[in-house]
């Protein structure tokens, strides 16, 4: 009981701290996320460009990340997209055209209507780099709507496209053909590389399906709905990836997928612990009526730190302040 109370108290303190410092923490999160995306782009594209490429300057990356931290997520995603297009232009005109078309498609299909979810577009490449991309749809299904599947899929597509361009740079540099023939060959190579990547298509389907499953199940009126939704989302990802591998022979890394799904479940439970903390052991029911209806209400209380424990902590903090160095006990 004391351990449970201690965890509840720690959660309440963390939530209280975030609410008080939200105006600082939100820009900090956007800064870290934007800088991580810029550094990933530099690692995969900037090192192959000329010395004066935009992504090659660490100071400029930090400045751009600071600018992105002061803007809404939609504008941050647009700035990072323009930076990627600019540096692709120094490497391959064909890759630049395809990337610009993908950005326009992304803007027209979704972000002009729901720019708030564009934070997921920035999060996806970073999560993919640290092998936590299976956790993104689970978290998105808990905190966002079903439309969050769109930025997640686009984030995966952009990530795979950058990796494909990096892998194809020797071939894009030229193969002894005429300029027009070489451009057509490069276009065909990049488009075929994206369209024939069965692993990317299956993974995109798995991530999108996980978002929809989690979002649907967490809204059901049943006990432990969020835990059921998290579990179902992880199982959905695993099943689609396994079935896709059996059908198309994508040669997935089964151990990596299992580890990723377990981490996704843990991340989902961590989010649930902070956002949706309820006590199913103390459910209350009530019945009342008015002139037109009878009402049957089931109330599930939120988990909270016991009042006596919070009072003890406040007393300890007050005592430590009173007897701090340089103060007198009576002050």
Reported as a single tens digit per residue, the pLDDT across 139-193 is 999 999 898 999 999 999 999 999 998 888 877 765 555 567 778 888 888 888 8
pLDDT at 51 over 60: no
pLDDT at 32 over 90: yes
98: in domain: yes
Q: What is the count of structural domains for the chain? A: 1
285: in domain: no
186: in domain: yes
Q: What is the pTM of this model?
A: 0.81
pLDDT at 102 over 80: yes
Question: What integer best gives the mean pLDDT of the chain?
Answer: 81
Residue 330 confidence (pLDDT) = 45
283: in domain: no
183: in domain: yes
312: in domain: no
Residue 154 confidence (pLDDT) = 92
293: in domain: no
CA–CA gap between residue 228 and residue 220 (Å, rounded): 10
Q: What is the mean pLDDT of residues 276-281?
A: 63
Q: What is the mean pLDDT of residues 67-95?
A: 86
Angle formed by the axes of helices 149-172 and 135-143, to 10°? 150
pLDDT at 37 over 60: yes
Domain limits at 40?
A: 2-277
Tokens of 209: 């399906």
Long-range contacts from 25-28, C-beta under 8 angstroms, 24+ separation: 27/69, 27/70, 28/69
Residue 44 confidence (pLDDT) = 83
171: in domain: yes
């Amino acid at each position: 009981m004391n351990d449970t109370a201690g965890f509840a108290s720690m959660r309440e303190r963390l939530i209280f701290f975030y609410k008080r410092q939200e105006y600082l923490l939100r820009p900090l999160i956007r800064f870290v996320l934007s800088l991580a995306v810029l550094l990933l782009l530099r690692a995969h594209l900037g090192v192959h460009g000329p010395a004066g490429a935009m992504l090659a300057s660490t100071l400029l990356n930090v400045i751009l990340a600071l600018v992105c931290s002061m803007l809404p997520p939609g504008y941050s995603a647009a700035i990072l997209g323009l930076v990627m297009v600019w540096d692709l232009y120094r490497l391959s005109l064909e890759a630049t055209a395809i990337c610009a078309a993908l950005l326009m498609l992304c803007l027209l299909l979704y972000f002009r209507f729901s720019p708030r979810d564009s934070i997921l577009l920035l999060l996806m490449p970073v999560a993919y780099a640290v092998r936590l991309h299976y956790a993104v749809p689970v978290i998105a299904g808990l905190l966002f709507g079903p439309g969050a599947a769109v930025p997640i899929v686009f984030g995966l597509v952009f990530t795979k496209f950058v990796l494909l361009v990096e892998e194809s740079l020797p071939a894009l540099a030229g193969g002894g053909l005429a300029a027009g023939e070489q451009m057509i060959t490069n276009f065909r190579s990049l488009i075929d590389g994206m369209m024939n990547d069965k692993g990317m298509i299956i993974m995109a389907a798995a991530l999108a399906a996980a978002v929809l499953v989690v979002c649907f199940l967490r809204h059901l009126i049943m006990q432990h709905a969020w835990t059921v939704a998290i579990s179902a989302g992880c199982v959905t990802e695993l099943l689609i990836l396994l079935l896709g591998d059996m059908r198309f022979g994508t040669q997935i890394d089964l151990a990596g997928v299992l580890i990723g799904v377990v981490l996704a479940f843990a991340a989902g439970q961590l989010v649930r612990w902070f956002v949706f903390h309820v006590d199913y052991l103390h459910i209350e029911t009530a019945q009342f009526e008015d002139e037109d209806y009878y009402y049957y209400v089931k109330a599930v209380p939120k988990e909270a730190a016991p009042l006596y424990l919070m009072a003890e902590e406040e007393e300890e903090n007050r005592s430590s302040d009173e007897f701090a160095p340089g103060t007198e006990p009576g002050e």
